[in-house]
Amino acid sequence: MKSLRFVAAEAFIRSGPSAVENLNCVSFNLYPLLFKACYLHEQADLLRVLVQAWPLPLLDLHSLLGQTVDCQMDLTSQTCRLCLESIMTGLKDYVLSPPRTYAKRLHLVDLTALKDVEHQPCRCRSTLGRWARTHLLTQMCYDTMVAMQDSDVSQSAFETSIDVRLNGFVTGRNYELVAQTFVLLRYCPLKLRFVSFRADSLSLKQLFYVLRLADTESILKLEIVHNVPLQATHLEVLLSKVAFPKLQSLTVPTGALDIRRLASDDDDDVMSIIGNQLAQLTDLTQLYVGFSTLTGHLRRLLNPLNTPLQCLELANCCLSRVDMTYLSNSLHSEFLVRLDISGHDIFSSFPTCFHKLLCRCSATLVSLALEECNIEDEHMDAFTDALACCQGLEELKLLGNPLTSEALQRLFSMLSVGFPKLKYIEMPVPRQCYSDSVTYPLNDTDLLLYNRELFQEVRGQLMGILEAAGRESVEVCSPLMGAYDPEINETSNELGVSMLKSFNSVIGNFIGCITEVNDRRSQDQDNN
């Protein structure tokens, strides 16, 4: 739905070259309206001019591109390359050009509202992902400083200071540019602030250096993922050397907190130290430590925290009954909004603790991930009984569990008559769609070797249960190869190269060890 004001704005931006000429006559309070109209219709040239002449103190994409009274369309998922390049180039022009109709008042630009999605709705079909936005904006900051060395630059450029908030993404490819921009940040009118900081394919030296350079007071979310060789001892050093006063979310790489890599005398101390360091992050409410072996050590990690966690990922962490007993009785259990305990045989290892955990977080839990938890038909009564109290659930993920179509029908029947907020279900491929010889958890070879016709038949029956209850809006899918990850999709080539280098390094070290052993044996034989 569009208001008459927005329709008039659309007509204005389509008036051709005269739109730029007439912009001087437009009232300052109409600039946000024109901004959204330009973005919607991909009028990149006019959008750049709008940003260059921006008369307001704030340029926030959430308020500009989100749902407004004049236009209900939410454009924050349209990461259109043409438009975003125009906005960032317009920021550079704003700094370097003298004031026009209105005085320079802009002091904050917030680009954090942009969301990367799999299917791009913009007409040009060309996107500017998170990594590319980071690269382009840092390049603009650097180019602005270079341009300010010219003698004919406006004096107002040296009097301008604009905080630019961005969800940053740093890898080996853009590390040098980002680090260089941070080094010169105090001299640049565009003050780059990472609200969310994602690091991938960096050495430890690069990670520590770029974090020391960044303005960590602005960082609310820190994601250290994939090819960053961070371990527990490194995390201890990082948290002791770099302050994150407002950090709300922390993600560590796969296996970063693996107790098997620690000396037996040190594992308790290191985990307790990290737990105490996390306790100093008083705003921390989200912790993602998947694929870290924490057997018997979860209490040491989480108990020092005074602020209860709302999002907790413990997938494939080899938790014991002691760990689950602690979690189900902890302060955190009463505040959990998103919980992932995939990769644990919950009904064989800790069924009572699992039931208690869901009961304690039932008032707040929105998302529950139980992938590859060996949930079978015989567990369905216990599972539905535990799940019944979580009526506020919006997402349920059950991939990789050996459930038959009959068990899934029972589950969907229960979900259809309750759970009014449920929106998304990741269902496993029914057990009978695979051959009898397949064992769980499924390996990569067996994963895709299932009867697709039978799967579609069962899926149709499950959807019929939802539709009969008026719940056809619930999305049901089975992303066997993993859900879409825009960051991995954007940097997959670099990630693959980095993984190949790591593999070659491991093989090289292995061959070196074998050669060394053979040389010693040969030397011993010669001595004998």
Buried b (16+ CB within 10 A) or exposed e, 422-452: beebbbbbbbbbbeeebebebeeeebeebee
CA atoms within 13 Å, Cβ hemisphere of 161: 4
pLDDT at 503 over 60: no
pLDDT in tens, 280-316: 999 999 999 999 999 999 999 999 999 999 999 999 9
Region 74-85: what's the mean pLDDT? 95
48-62, 259-273, 282-296: which has the minimum mean pLDDT?
A: 259-273
> What is the length of the chain?
528
Whole-model pTM: value is 0.91
Q: 190-199 and 221-224 as β-strands: parallel, antiparallel, unpaired?
A: parallel
Query: Band of the pLDDT at 123, cuts 50, 70, 90?
Result: confident
Name the token pair of 175: 């590390």
Please tell me the distance from the alpha carbon of residue 448 to that of residue 434, in angstroms, as a whole number.
9
Query: Band of the pLDDT at 17, cuts 50, 70, 90?
Result: confident
Name the token pair of 485: 């990850």
Query: Band of the pLDDT at 103, cuts 50, 70, 90?
Result: confident
Q: Give phi and psi for 479, each to the nearest 5.
A: -75, 80
Q: Look at residue 369 and give its three-state secondary structure.
A: strand
Please tell me the distance from the alpha carbon of residue 471 to that of residue 474, in angstroms, as a whole number.
6
Region 85-91: what's the mean pLDDT? 97
Please tell me the distance from the alpha carbon of residue 99 to that of residue 157, in angstroms, as a whole number.
10
**Residue of 132, 210, 195, 196 lying closest to 163 (CA atoms):** 195
Name the token pair of 526: 């010669």
Please tell me the distance from the alpha carbon of residue 372 to that of residue 443, in angstroms, as a whole number.
11
**Residue of 79, 293, 50, 45 lying closest to 169 (CA atoms):** 79
Q: What is the largest distance, in Å, between two alpha-carbon atoms of the chain?
A: 98
pLDDT in tens, 365-390: 999 999 999 999 999 999 999 999 99
Q: What is the full DSSP assignment across 193-241? A: EEEEEEE-S--HHHHHHHHHHS-GGG--EEEE-SS----HHHHHHHHHH
Please tell me the distance from the alpha carbon of residue 366 to that of residue 293, in angstroms, as a whole number.
26
> Percent of the chain, pLDDT > 70?
92
Region 515-525: what's the mean pLDDT? 66
User: Are 304 and 275 within 8 A, CB to CB?
Assistant: yes
- Residues in contact with 478: Cβ distance below 8 Å, sequence separation at least 6, in sequence order: 399, 426, 427, 428, 429, 455, 459
Please tell me the distance from the alpha carbon of residue 146 to that of residue 268, in angstroms, as a whole number.
51
Which run of H or of E encompasses 475?
strand 475-477
